[in-house]
Structure 1
Amino acid sequence: MRIQVLGTVRAWLGDEPVELTSAGQRAVLGLLALAGGQPVTRSELIDALWGDDPPASAVNVLQTYVKHLRRRLEPDRPARSRSALLPHVGDGYALRATADTLDLLCFRQLSAQATAARQEGDDRRAATLLDRALRQWQGAPLADVPQLAGHPKVVAVAAERGAALARYGELKIALGEVAEALPALAEAVAAQPLDEAGQARLIRAYAAAGRRADAFEAYHAARRRLADELGVDPGPELRAAHDIALRDEAPPATATRTAVPAQLPADVPDFIGRDGELARLDALLGSPTVVISALSGTAGVGKTALAVRWAHRVRTGFPDGQLYINLRGYDAERPVPAGEALARFLRALGVPGQEVPLDAEERADRYRSLLDGRRMLIVLDNAASVAQVRPLLPGTPGCLTVVTSRDALPGLVARHGARRLDLDLLPHADAIALLRRLIGRRCDEDPDAADELAERCARLPLALRVAAELALARPSVPLRQLVGELADERRRLTLLDAGGDPETGVRAVFSFSYRQLPAPAARAFRLLGLHPGPDVEPYAAAALFGTPVTEAHDLLEALAGAHLLQRGTPGRYGLHDLLRAYASELALLDGDETGTTRLLDAWLHTARAAMTTLHPAERGRHGGEPAGPRPVPIAPVGDPAAAQAWLDAERGNLAAAVAFAAAHDLPGHAVALTVTLLRYLEGGGHVAEAVAMHAHARDAARLTGDVAAEAQLLNNVALIYSQQGRFPQAAEYLRAAIDAARRCGDLAAETRALGNLGHVDAWLGRYDDAAARLREALELCRRTGDRAAEARVLGNLGQIYRRQGRHADAEAHLRRSVALCRDVSDHIGEAYALVSLGHVEAGRGLLADAADHHRAALALFRRSTERGGEALALDGLGSAELALGGAEGFDRLLQSLAIFRRLGERAGEAQAGNSIGEAHAAAGRHGAAREAHAAALAVAREIGDRYEQARAHSGLVAAAEALSDQATAEIHRRAALAIYAEIGAPQPASIFG
């Protein structure tokens, strides 16, 4: 026997449902269940059933209800025997049930276990138990017995759920999982709209999740409700929550709190000395305030080595992880901008790439919020200025930041209280000890020569290591002779450098080491000074050097063996910034800059090949072949896994390449690389890189007057902003794209921009404007004879007409779009039109036809790896299948939501969330429906999607009515009707009838 009262009143014998034919039977069973095993008197039952005006036959009717219940619930009970399940107790009845047989008792048992777990400090187990407890609820208690909606026992049990929701939300916040807490907190507030503590809790959670707009809206709605219904102002707890949102002081949000980055480079081998400096760094530990150490000193003095050595020594004291970045502050070509560094840190902290804010200030806000309450070590290496560092500083105690720079960074000390540690040259004894460890007994055989060598190297660790490698490479040359040759080299450089370069000693070592290289290795070293990215692998080196790959690999190994190149991750190599500057200087003197063009060509060829492997149906989006002969060979990217791996490994180099090309009169490469990589960047969530690369490419296009390229790039950036739900910014870029396209007479670009702007207008609920844009685009298509573009525009216009309730016009446009797409073999456009056509048919009740169209679209999308389209088709197909009684429908809706979230497509997330809410409601799961619609409403409000806001409000009306919350239903009804009137669209009929 199982009984359900948390929702509709139902019972089962084994797997067979018990037929409870009358509302009176359900009411009696429900009231006895709510008593939790305690007896309920006859008069209490009569009062609940008939109030102040019971019929004369009330006792007999009640007895009849009980008799029928016993027969149905205990069919094997002999006549006139005492009921085991519904015994007569005193002047009333009781229901004998356990947590295994009654959902209310199961809920209470799990809730009590959760309380005990929290008292024992096990918040994770407590949250799990509460989650299980809340899953017992399928709606308002006794939902199908409306006459009992206001009964004290029903109200009291509903309040138990509200309290459990609040506790669950608090636990999720404590566990750093604010995003998962929000639906529960929002539902608790919806159930108790005048509960100031609950409202305050929700506002704090919104602020913690970075959704300050929602926090403010929740506060103002609560304030209005208190004023309208109680005539009072918000209390101190609610005002305090509002203040937190204003100051953005909320605790860190989301599951990213579980990410524990470990980004420190490998510890430095043969580290010598610096005991005093290490001790001073040790003294920073345990400070209750924000600690920043500014570690400064001349180039090559060992700042990075000291910072990394100390960081490895103390890393266990920072259990939340270590962040590291080389800011390349003294790279003349491309220091790392603070915004780019923040994007890297956010991804390391677990923020999905598509959720990294596009604005640098927003990134800094998110970064500081994530670090709040954590104990992390942050190493900012090779900073050029305080401006480069400041956005990367945490805002609260617990984190320790070490900054290395050639500059003393006085602003960091003055404004941020940094503890400065000036790193001097190695003490002479330590310099000798390092040489002895590197060279061995030759130092002891000629100690005077070793002393002089240390001084010739200016006691700089980098120079000492290069000189030691020279000595090891020439074992038969006495140390004294090597010192003399270095002295001659220094004199040569001094004569060449009339300015008296203070680093002449270091340059003398580099110069002498370079001149010992064989000619091919020396040329390779020079060319590496032209490499724009952070590291290099053999295929890229082969293009740069103009050699076969095996030879390039051998040259890289030879330079690494001479300590002129650093080995990084397997197969990759990097240059110290001093060596990079020296190699670049040599390359410019040599005048051989063709290597860079070869490298950019190779990257462009490989990128196009990789994108074609991953997206074969979109070859046309990658542009034409680059100028010049194809580099042979390029990295193997013919396999999808290899293509993806190459793009991921080279992403930093490719971003640097675009910036380099834009700054060095190579605009074609800047534009072509950016356009080629757009799908990879946006699909992989690398939106920060995508926006940065488009900015550089657009600068290049402007400098050369390539207005057509500028229009294309503006269009692309608008798509990125649209994907993140930032529609006003997208519209701004699209208007600029239209202007650029008109200036250069590029009708195709103008058509594309008009179509995209129509999309944005539609998302914002401006359907008349959207239709006007699309009709203008349609006219351009027909004027130019561009049937492929015409097909896409027809499909988009059909979607607008569907939203406006113009179903005949919508169907005509969509069927024309499908036919045209098939004629021009545009399978993606065909699939999108089929999805819209499926929605039109579903709205007309043609569910089987709708499902067929969605299935066809799904197959086309999956064949082309169009993940956003796949999610759209899953959304439509899932709803259609559920309406037809199919079992797989709900799983398809969940898949759709998961894909949209993974892609960061916020509009799709709102759409799928509303579909899930409608599916829950159709199955009678009204509490779950309310959660889904509330979450969809929050997303739709955040991005300004008016249609999905209205749809969510409509869903919340249905949920509130089913849960007998007429006041809340009326609030959402007014909101839905207002939005539908505003956007000029009728409220669509539910696909579920």
Structure 2
Amino acid sequence: MSVPDLEANPPGDHNENPTRQATQEALVSGHGRVFQALGDQHNQFITVGNVERVVPRQLPPAPRRFAGREVELGVLTDMLDTAAESGATVVVSAIGGVGGIGKTWLSVHWAHEHLEWFPDGQLFVDLRGFAPTGEPMSVGEAVRGFLHALGEDPATLPVDLDAQVGLYRSLVADRRMLIVLDNARDTPQIAPLLPGGQACTVVVTSRNHLPGLVTVHGAWSVDLAVLSEAESRQLLADHLGADRVAAEPDAVAELLKYCAGLPLALSIVAARATTHALFPLAALAEELRDQKARLDGLNAGEIPLNLRAVFSCSYRALPRDIAGLFGLLSLAPGPDISLPAAAELAGLPVTDARALLRELETAHLVSQPVLGRYRFHDLLRLYATEQARHHLPESSRHAALRRLMDFFLHTAHTAERLLDPHRHPIEIDASGPDCHPLPLPHQTAADAWLEAEHANLLAGQQIAAELGWHAVVWQLAWSLDTFHYRRGHLHEWRSTWEAGLISAREFGAPAVISLAHRLLGDAHLNLGNHNEALRQLGHALRVAEDAADLSAQAHAHRILTWACGRQGDDRRALEHAASALRLYQALDLRAREAAMLNAMGWFESRIGDFEQAQVHCAAALHLCRQQEYRVGEANTLVSLGYVAQRTGRLDGALDFYQAALALFRVLNSTYYQADTLDRIGQIHAATGHSDQAREAWSEALSIYKDKHRPTDADRVQQEIDNLIEGVR
């Protein structure tokens, strides 16, 4: 029999609850980063047996203009034919190609030519192996993205990475799918994403040679060289028109020389020339001369040509305000930036920022793979960073980044207060006149914003830590708490509070230090690290006691209640619950008082003191209803049902459980619906109502499976099997 958490969740204060055509095509032909989260087809569904499957369609749009690569396309097709004959999983590694060589361009073009070979869908991910800032995408982030694309609810995924990988491989094992792993760093980043079956085709692109992928996993290698002069000329003519190219042969020859067969460079030049259709190509060629010293840092032994002149050609044509925004955007942490965030960074109204971003997008200096969200090509970000350093005063860069972090913090804080309005709030400084956080009208909007900005918020916290903005660090950790718990981002929850604890100590306030220890302990508790959880929670309590901070003491005792309960120490849990209750009563925090009255009743019933448990639970129920604390009311009804069940009052127990179930349904709390249905099944079985018991257990079993709770699912399945056997 499972034990319900008394606030409808595990401990931790979490209630359940036309860009121009030339530029567009330049993006397609240039580099894989622009494809992240981009798709020209929506997911579909197919039915296999009685199971409805999601058919993901994550491929970016096929490039309309494609030059050369006949040999490489033939190799890819021959590889697939050979693999089909042998029955082997196919892995293609496009290695040895420089950045901007068109690895993604090739893979997406080939994939669209062979869509009929992959009827069960296509998955695509940019692994950010060579992102200029931040870390490559983790295996966990990639796997969770694929699981979501395959129809799995992010909130119900198993916590353990190995289990997530296993679930992913199970879902794709028998499917004829294409899986594109773009911009990989190395073999260890790729290996967990390889399916175990023989039905899938996997295409990997990387700037590195990947010998492990070849020797261990039998990958085929496809090396991409630069385009030939004829291929480069054809690509430029496709963009600009044959007449314009033929009209200036000398200038075209010079442009081809400077671009050196690199599709990215050719695409940028084509975008610039298309934007200024009346400019002679000779003017562009002249701008590309004598610019070798400006992009040396991007060579790094991997890029056999200088791209700085190509980027500078577009940059120098920008008006001053647009050039300033280009540099400022490089300061933004994370993989992309939203329109409102870009406006904050620039200190501009959103309408003005949108107009400037449109110009940058037209010039192929940023891309917009998702409506309202912008990103740099990785090389362009480095170039933009250099321009910001050269042309913007340090004070301007500092002020811009501070505006952005204040925007992130205040919007995240608003989101957290919407997700969990019963949580004890923290105080943050009022936003300044230059900060315009999003209002986020409701909980759905809050959740969507946190999902879209999650990677940027994590990167922002890291930047704030490096700059010594300690208040921002711990307050951002607090503002991500409920989102991390509900979405199952438990490792990120822990890491944000590891940083938060360091900053809390620097911040110096005992209440903040206690809070950081407490919530780091909460994260460890939910990760199953019970000893570390108790250690951190012990620190939290001691700091609170030394500071005579009754509120912090109460919160520490509350989480220690559940930490002890998780370890089976019901009497110690009861002691902490009593301490938390006494403190919450003194502080007049009525919702928390109700929660701990219920906790008292629950653990008293666990040790057999049913009379006192009844008293505490009845008081909790009255207070929950008085405070309109619906989650607490539902949990208290479960506790009252448990007391009645343990004392043989089965009809009363059934009434309590059914009332709790009705509330959990209103709250959309499926996790606790399952536990309550399980208990209802027990009551029906004990009273001889086999059909009702099987109905309740079957619904609980379905939820347990959906929420990836295998232990509970196996136990309930056994109950159903025993019931069926008994009827026979």
- TM-score of the pair, normalised by structure 1: 0.59
The 8 Å contact of residues 680 and 693 in structure 2, kept in 1 or not, is answered as no
Aligned to 2:77: 282
CA distance in 1 between partners of 2:374 and 2:177 (Å): 28
Aligned to 1:809: 612
> Secondary structure of the residue that 1:556 maps to in structure 2?
helix
CA distance in 2 between partners of 1:414 and 1:498 (Å): 29
Aligned counterparts, 1:833-912, within 5 A? 833=636, 836-837=639-640, 840=643, 875-877=657-659, 892=662, 895=665, 899-900=668-669, 902-903=670-671, 909-912=674-677
1:319 lines up with 2:119 in the alignment: yes
Choose from 595, 600, 604 the match for 2:409. 604
Extract unaligned runs of 5+ from structure 2: 1-46
1:511 lines up with 2:312 in the alignment: yes
Aligned to 2:559: 756
* Matched letter for residue 395 of structure 1: G
Deviation at 1:473, TM superposition (A): 3.7
CA distance in 2 between partners of 1:327 and 1:909 (Å): 37
Aligned to 2:6: none
CA distance in 2 between partners of 1:511 and 1:651 (Å): 32
The 8 Å contact of residues 91 and 203 in structure 2, kept in 1 or not, is answered as yes
Pick closer, same or farther for the CA change 1:262–1:943 going to 2, 3 Å: closer
Pick closer, same or farther for the CA change 1:604–1:404 going to 2, 3 Å: same
1:569-612 per-residue CA deviation (whole Å, 9 max, x = no partner) reads 22332221111222233334443143232122212222333444
1:309 lines up with 2:104 in the alignment: no
Choose from 377, 383, 388 the match for 1:576. 377
CA distance in 1 between partners of 2:202 and 2:465 (Å): 34
Choose from 524, 537, 541 the match for 1:737. 537
Aligned to 1:400: 201
The 8 Å contact of residues 878 and 893 in structure 1, kept in 2 or not, is answered as yes
Deviation at 1:284, TM superposition (A): 1.9
CA distance in 2 between partners of 1:842 and 1:639 (Å): 39
Choose from 125, 130, 146 the match for 1:330. 130
Pick closer, same or farther for the CA change 1:273–1:741 going to 2, 3 Å: farther
Pick closer, same or farther for the CA change 1:553–1:785 going to 2, 3 Å: closer
Deviation at 1:427, TM superposition (A): 1.1
1:267 lines up with 2:62 in the alignment: yes
Pick closer, same or farther for the CA change 1:932–1:345 going to 2, 3 Å: same
Pick closer, same or farther for the CA change 1:938–1:511 going to 2, 3 Å: closer
> Secondary structure of the residue that 2:413 maps to in structure 1?
helix
Aligned to 1:444: 246
* Matched letter for residue 269 of structure 2: A
Moved more, 495-504 or 386-395: 495-504
The 8 Å contact of residues 718 and 731 in structure 1, kept in 2 or not, is answered as no
* Matched letter for residue 214 of structure 2: V
Pick closer, same or farther for the CA change 1:374–1:630 going to 2, 3 Å: farther
* Matched letter for residue 302 of structure 1: G
> Secondary structure of the residue that 1:808 maps to in structure 2?
helix
* Matched letter for residue 322 of structure 1: Q
Pick closer, same or farther for the CA change 1:609–1:754 going to 2, 3 Å: closer
Aligned to 2:90: 291
- TM-score of the pair, normalised by structure 2: 0.79
CA distance in 1 between partners of 2:163 and 2:513 (Å): 26
Aligned to 2:326: 525
Pick closer, same or farther for the CA change 1:274–1:662 going to 2, 3 Å: farther
Aligned to 1:432: 233
Deviation at 1:542, TM superposition (A): 0.6
CA distance in 2 between partners of 1:558 and 1:678 (Å): 38
The 8 Å contact of residues 227 and 263 in structure 2, kept in 1 or not, is answered as yes
The 8 Å contact of residues 934 and 952 in structure 1, kept in 2 or not, is answered as no
Deviation at 1:793, TM superposition (A): 2.4
CA distance in 2 between partners of 1:937 and 1:481 (Å): 67
Question: Which of structures 1 and 2 has the larger relative contact order (alpha carbons within 8 angstroms, sep 6+)?
Answer: 2
> Secondary structure of the residue that 1:705 maps to in structure 2?
helix
> Secondary structure of the residue that 1:285 maps to in structure 2?
helix
1:564 lines up with 2:365 in the alignment: yes
Aligned to 1:409: 210
1:915 lines up with 2:676 in the alignment: no
Pick closer, same or farther for the CA change 1:721–1:704 going to 2, 3 Å: closer
Aligned counterparts, 1:507-906, within 5 A? 507-589=308-390, 590=392, 591=394, 592-613=397-418, 617-618=421-422, 621=424, 623-626=426-429, 628-629=431-432, 631=434, 633-635=436-438, 637-639=440-442, 642-662=445-465, 664-683=467-486, 686-688=487-489, 690-702=490-502, 705=505, 712=515, 715-716=518-519, 728-729=528-529, 732-743=532-543, 745=546, 748-762=551-565, 765-778=568-581, 789-817=592-620, 829=632, 832-833=635-636, 836-837=639-640, 840=643, 875-877=657-659, 892=662, 895=665, 899-900=668-669, 902-903=670-671
Percent identity for Structure 1 against Structure 2: 34
Pick closer, same or farther for the CA change 1:697–1:717 going to 2, 3 Å: closer
Query: When the two structures are aligned, how many residues end up with a matched partner?
Result: 663
* Matched letter for residue 178 of structure 2: L
* Matched letter for residue 291 of structure 1: V
Pick closer, same or farther for the CA change 1:935–1:833 going to 2, 3 Å: closer
CA distance in 2 between partners of 1:354 and 1:361 (Å): 17
CA distance in 1 between partners of 2:320 and 2:341 (Å): 20
CA distance in 2 between partners of 1:920 and 1:851 (Å): 11
CA distance in 1 between partners of 2:552 and 2:695 (Å): 43
The 8 Å contact of residues 918 and 929 in structure 1, kept in 2 or not, is answered as no
CA distance in 1 between partners of 2:194 and 2:307 (Å): 32
1:500-551 per-residue CA deviation (whole Å, 9 max, x = no partner) reads 9945521211123212211111111111112223333321111111100000
- What is the CA RMSD across the aligned residues, in angstroms? 4.1
* Matched letter for residue 527 of structure 1: L
Pick closer, same or farther for the CA change 1:711–1:691 going to 2, 3 Å: farther
Aligned counterparts, 1:34-53, within 5 A? none
CA distance in 2 between partners of 1:958 and 1:398 (Å): 38
The 8 Å contact of residues 295 and 309 in structure 2, kept in 1 or not, is answered as no
CA distance in 1 between partners of 2:577 and 2:714 (Å): 23
Pick closer, same or farther for the CA change 1:633–1:851 going to 2, 3 Å: farther
Aligned to 2:9: none
Deviation at 1:403, TM superposition (A): 1.3
Aligned to 2:727: 963
Aligned to 2:33: none
Deviation at 1:343, TM superposition (A): 1.2
Deviation at 1:486, TM superposition (A): 0.7
1:111-151 per-residue CA deviation (whole Å, 9 max, x = no partner) reads xxxxxxxxxxxxxxxxxxxxxxxxxxxxxxxxxxxxxxxxx
